[in-house]
Amino acid sequence: MKLRKVLSTLAIIVIGAIALFLAIAMLVYPPEYVYRATVWQDSDAFDWQKFPSHPLNAAPAAYHFDVAPSPRVSELFAQLAGTDDWERFLEENDTQAFIVIQDGKILYENYFNNTRRDSIVTSFSVAKSFDSALIGIAIQEGYIHSVDDPITIYLPELAERDPRFNEITIRHLLLMASGLEYRAFRPLLFNSDDILTSYYPDQRKIALENTHIIDPPGAYYRYNKYHPQLLGMILERTTGMPVTSYLQTRIWDRLGMEYSGSWSIDSKASDFEKMETGINARAIDFAKFGVLFLNGGSWQGNQVIFKAWIDESTRPLFPQNYADYYSDWYALLPGEGHYKYMWYSLVRGGDVYDFAAEGNKGQFIYVSPQANLVIVRSGIEYGIPSEDWFQLFYEFASQF
């Protein structure tokens, strides 16, 4: 009886402490943010069902790839993965969709884990590659002058807070090399940058007020989710429209996206796209974005994005000191891993390289120009480490 009473008292104390902690948090942060951080916790592949969103409408004229199934796709992937059943491998490793397109034809398309062709899958950080493309189009259309523009031309509030922001350019944001502080996790739950940039209901506010310079721009790569938010504000201020509308009219419609989709927003009150993530669509339409970049920005005879921007966005960046510039993870990638304008690139030698958009939980749009190939993988989880997916895609493109 005494033990039960002690345990009961301890439970009351713990619950009371948690309640007090949450009450204090709600005095500092918006209650909506506290709720998301404590109840939603880690992001998942079904976040698109939680957040409000802006709609992306199916294109007026849908484009359909020709289909030429090839059993060799499964055979080679199975060999490379060390399995006797490629479909089982994909199913067991939390895959939702897997598509292989070569020479403009679908060679393989399959769906797993209760996902079908018309199921919505989410982008996670693949959205950043869309952000980059939209910046390129905005430069092409004259809304933005150059990637070398200081970001304070478009976001003067930053310079008012710290004049050193004048030294950060759009290029630095695209390279993830701004010198801005980004601590994914801090001792207190609610002040970690990763949680703030995921769940705070006013992303403009934290990007303008919670960004702090700790190093000169251009010195090194550091993943930072404030960068796409700042780019999103530059896009909406220069184009005069929501970023979703710009995506709809400049890419979605022009590529003949077959299905409707959405772009998750931070909250209904703020109404700002989650620029770091949250483009929700069908895998086959994500594949069209990959084919657009494979074809140098051209789609059905129309130049949607200047080829010079495609090349500049995806070409490997060779810093003077690779080990100091990049994080250790890049050394795990096949060939030699690099990062440019929110695309990962894998050097094959000389001027030959593959490149990819990659997102949390194993979302990939992998492009191999030397094989004229695009691979799309969406997933509930990685299943295997991201560098292992990159290795599979790289070796497949080498041998197929």
Query: What are 330-373's pLDDT values in tens digits?
Result: 999 999 999 999 999 999 988 999 999 999 999 999 999 999 99
Asked whether residue 131 is domain-assigned, the answer is: yes
How confident is residue 189, by pLDDT bands cut at 50, 70 and 90? confident
Instruction: Please provide the DSSP assignment of 313-378 as one string.
Output: HHSPP--SSHHHHS-GGGGGSSS-EEE-SS-EEEEEETTEEEEEEEETTTEEEEEEGGGTEEEEEE
For residue 239, the one-letter residue type is T
CATH of residue 362's domain is 3.40.710.10
- Number of structural domains found in the chain: 2
Contacts of 153 (CB under 8 A, 6+ apart): none
Burial of 18 (0-12, 13-18, 19+ CB in 10 A): exposed
At residue 367, the pLDDT reads 98
Nearest partner of 81 among 69, 95, 68, judged by Cα = 95
Q: Would 34 be classed as within a structural domain?
A: yes
19, 130: one domain = no
- How buried is 4 (Cβ within 10 angstroms: 0-12 exposed, 13-18 middle, 19+ buried)? exposed
Note down the domain range covering 11: 2-40
**Chain position carrying tokens 């991201």:** 386
Residues 367 and 350 in one domain: yes
Strand partners, 169: 150
- 11 shares its domain with 65: no
- Please give the pLDDT value at position 7: 56
- Secondary structure element (H or E) that encloses residue 56, with its range: strand 53-56
Within this chain, do residues 32 and 117 fall inside the same structural domain, yes or no?
A: no
Whether 18 maps to a domain, the answer reads yes
Separation of alpha carbons 385 and 396, rounded Å: 17
Q: Residue 390 domain-assigned?
A: yes
Q: Which of these, 45, 60, 131, 55, lies nearest to 95 by C-alpha position?
A: 45
In a domain, 162, yes or no: no
Sheet holding 363-368, edge to edge: 66-67, 105-111, 95-102, 373-379, 363-368, 352-359, 344-349, 337-339
Question: Is residue 248 a part of any domain in this protein?
Answer: yes
Residue ending a domain, among 25, 40, 55, is 40
Asked if 36 and 52 sit in the same domain, the reply is no
Structure tokens at 47: 């976040």
The 10s digit of each residue's pLDDT in 127-152 is: 999 999 999 999 999 999 999 999 99
Q: What is the pTM of this model?
A: 0.94
Name the residue with higher pLDDT: 2 or 19: 2
Look up residue 114 and give its two tokens. Answer: 């209760």
> Are 363 and 263 found together in one domain?
yes
Q: Can you tell me which residue has the tokens 């990637």? A: 147
The C-alpha atoms of residue 276 and residue 270 are separated, in whole angstroms, by 16
Query: Residue 18 has which token pair?
Result: 């948690």
Whether the per-residue pLDDT at 15 is higher than 80: the answer is no
Q: 22 and 132: one domain?
A: no
Q: Are residues 120 and 248 in the same domain?
A: yes
The closest of 290, 353, 287 to 318, measured between CA atoms, is 353
Q: How many residues does the chain have?
A: 400
In a domain, 175, yes or no: no
In the chain the first and final C-alpha atoms are separated, in Å, by 70
Cβ atoms within 10 Å, residue 288: 25
Residue 158 lies in a domain: no
CA atoms of 271 and 54, how far apart (whole Å)? 8
Residues 64 and 27 in one domain: no
* Residue 136 sits in the same domain as residue 7: no
Question: Can you say how many angstroms the Cα of residue 337 is from the centroid of all Cα atoms in its chain?
Answer: 17
Q: Residues 147-174: pLDDT tens digits?
A: 999 999 999 999 999 999 999 999 999 9
Note whether 6 and 137 are same-domain residues. Answer: no
Both 250 and 323 in one domain: the answer is: yes
